Amino acid sequence: MTVNKENTCNTVDKILVTCPNNGANRPDKIKIREESKLPSGCKRSQFNIVNDSDTRTLSKEIAYRMYEICGKYPSLVIAEYNRKYIDMNKFRDCAYEVQQAKPFYDEYHQHISQHIEGICTRNKDRYVNGWLFDIHGRVQA
């Protein structure tokens, strides 16, 4: 594979890599989500409490490879909490069942917003697009 280092390195500061569903932690006092407790507006067919497979590792590897090539990292936001407690990739009403989970959900999305704002600020003098790579994976049974 050929990498055009100049073009690649000029885009690193415009890239945000997110990993919403491969956290390992359990927020204090928050129980495992239950499909039966979803609000009526949430799609039961999209309910999932199984973490994506190895997406945390993949997200970090993507960032590290960019660093190896360019000497700088893209923006990177990785959820710290297991999907069975909070699904960071869903709208707030469908992401968790108890209000104690709200600060954890909000913190993840605030980090994303801050990185997007940073990308826009760093590139305000240029007509430029940014790229969001939202990393997902599945385990096949």
Q: What's 126's DSSP letter?
A: S
Residue percentage of the chain with pLDDT more than 70:
89
CA-nearest of 53, 73, 70, 74 to 135 is 53
CA-nearest of 122, 17, 21 to 80 is 21
H or E element: which one contains 109? Answer: helix 102-122
| pLDDT tens-digit map of 3-32 | 566 666 778 888 999 999 999 999 998 999
**Report field, pTM of the whole predicted structure over 0.85:** yes
Residue 2 has pLDDT above 60, yes or no: no
In the chain, where the domains are located: 5-134
Using DSSP's 3-state secondary structure scheme, residue 71 falls into: coil
Residue percentage of the chain with pLDDT more than 90:
66
CA-nearest of 47, 44, 31, 65 to 133 is 65
Structure confidence at residue 126 (pLDDT): 67
Q: Is 110 within 8 Å of 58 (Cβ atoms)?
A: no
